[in-house]
């Protein structure tokens, strides 16, 4: 039987004459969406706890369950594949069986492809832009690209790769824990875009949920975005940002900072049969996260 313990996130009160009674819990959510993190498929042998081939079966199982629910969309928080462009050809047909629209953010492994194939990743995921926004009713969803500044996103001789190497070198000189080759950062241009998106959302009374592959909380974690502190400081300026959702750290995590909930979903590639994913339901006064598989039950 499906477990029904929820991570319940209480939202800041927005001016209203209405009091939320217990029976209101049965109301229809304003937005519902699925969450998948790190399928990381590859036609490769098991490595440690990562069962790469099993991700096809796991994703199929998750999609069958998600299709039973009325969802506005499903987001995959990066690392659809582990390596090789041909891996997309095996896993993307499963996404096409979904009844809800599929959205994605980039993960570092999505670019573990041949140098000449890196520019093809965008189209393989059906994306036209590397970071973007989507509005659903009173909610705004922001999709960040944490791979934008990295040593793997572009070919080795690309100017952007050389700049990323210098940034990584500086972080290592500063002994930053997140100074890892598999992490990345968002550019100043993307930060400016994010600032504008958050400001407009606040002005128009929209609640915001941000998606990225990389965690930013707790600060200075080895899995984090290189410029995690800058992103956290920006989010703290906007109380309408309800949550920041990410993958990358396959163990998962959860924290609250300055009123924003930072949720790291578990990696699907981990384990022989474990199939973590979730359904998120957004209400006027709360967000409920219903975990499936080994996505943990939490009560806040």
Q: Is 107 strand, coil or helix?
A: coil
Closest by CA position to 130, among listed 97, 160, 169? 160
pLDDT digits (tens, 9 = 90+) for 152-208: 999 999 999 999 999 999 999 999 999 999 999 999 999 999 999 999 999 999 999
pLDDT digits (tens, 9 = 90+) for 216-226: 999 999 999 99
pLDDT digits (tens, 9 = 90+) for 36-78: 999 999 999 999 999 999 999 999 999 999 999 999 999 999 9
Can you give the pLDDT at residue 1? 38
Domain spans of the chain, in order of start: 29-292
Query: Could you check whether the bond before residue 221 is cis, i.e. omega within 30 degrees of 0?
Result: no
Spatial contact of 104 and 74, defined as CB atoms under 8 Å apart: no
Q: Element (H or E) spanning 172, and its range?
A: helix 159-173
- Exposed/middle/buried for 291, CB within 10 Å: 0-12, 13-18, 19+? buried
Can you give the pLDDT at residue 20? 37
Longest dimension (CA), the chain: 60
Can you give the pLDDT at residue 296? 76
For residue 298, pLDDT over 70 is answered with no
Can you give the pLDDT at residue 27? 86
**How far lies 142's CA from each of 49, 244, 262, 295, in Å?**
31, 9, 14, 23
d(CA 208, CA 213): 17
Question: Phi first, then psi: what are they for 173, rounded to 5°?
Answer: -60, -35
Contacts of residue 294, defined as CB under 8 A and 6 or more positions apart, other chains included, come to: 266, 271, 274, 275, 276
CA terminus-to-terminus distance, the chain = 23
d(CA 125, CA 43): 18
Cα angle, residue 59 at apex, residues 215 and 263 outer, rounded to 5°: 20
Can you give the pLDDT at residue 279? 96
Which of the four pLDDT bands, split at 50, 70 and 90, describes residue 13? very low
pTM above 0.95, yes or no: no
Q: Which CATH class is domain 29-292?
A: alpha beta
For residue 245, pLDDT over 60 is answered with yes
């Amino acid at each position: 039987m499906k477990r029904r313990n929820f991570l319940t996130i209480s939202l800041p009160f927005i001016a209203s004459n209405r009091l939320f009674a217990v029976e209101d819990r049965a109301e229809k959510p304003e937005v519902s969406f699925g969450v998948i993190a790190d399928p990381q498929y590859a036609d490769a042998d098991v490595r440690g706890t990562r069962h790469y081939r099993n991700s096809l079966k796991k994703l199929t199982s998750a999609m069958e369950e998600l299709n039973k629910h009325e969802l506005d969309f499903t987001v995959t928080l990066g690392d659809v594949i582990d390596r090789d462009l041909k891996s997309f050809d095996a896993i993307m047909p499963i996404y096409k069986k979904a009844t809800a629209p599929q959205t994605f953010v980039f993960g570092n492994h999505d670019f573990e492809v041949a140098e000449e194939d890196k520019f093809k990743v965008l189209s393989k995921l059906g994306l036209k832009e590397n970071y973007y926004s989507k509005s659903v009713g009173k909610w705004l969803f922001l999709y960040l690209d944490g791979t934008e500044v990295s040593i793997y996103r572009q070919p080795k001789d690309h100017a952007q790769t050389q700049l990323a190497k210098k940034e990584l070198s500086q972080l290592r000189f500063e002994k930053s824990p997140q100074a890892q080759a598999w992490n990345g950062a968002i550019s100043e241009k993307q930060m400016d875009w994010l600032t504008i998106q958050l400001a407009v959302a606040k002005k128009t009374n929209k609640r915001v949920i941000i998606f990225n592959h990389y965690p930013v909380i707790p600060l200075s974690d080895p899995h984090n975005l290189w410029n995690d502190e800058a992103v956290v400081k920006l989010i703290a300026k906007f109380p309408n940002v309800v949550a920041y959702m990410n993958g990358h750290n396959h163990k998962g995590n959860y924290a609250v900072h300055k009123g924003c909930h930072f949720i790291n979903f578990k990696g699907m590639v981990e384990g022989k049969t474990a199939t973590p994913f979730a359904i998120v339901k957004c209400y006027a006064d709360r967000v409920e996260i219903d975990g499936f598989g080994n996505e943990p039950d939490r009560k806040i």
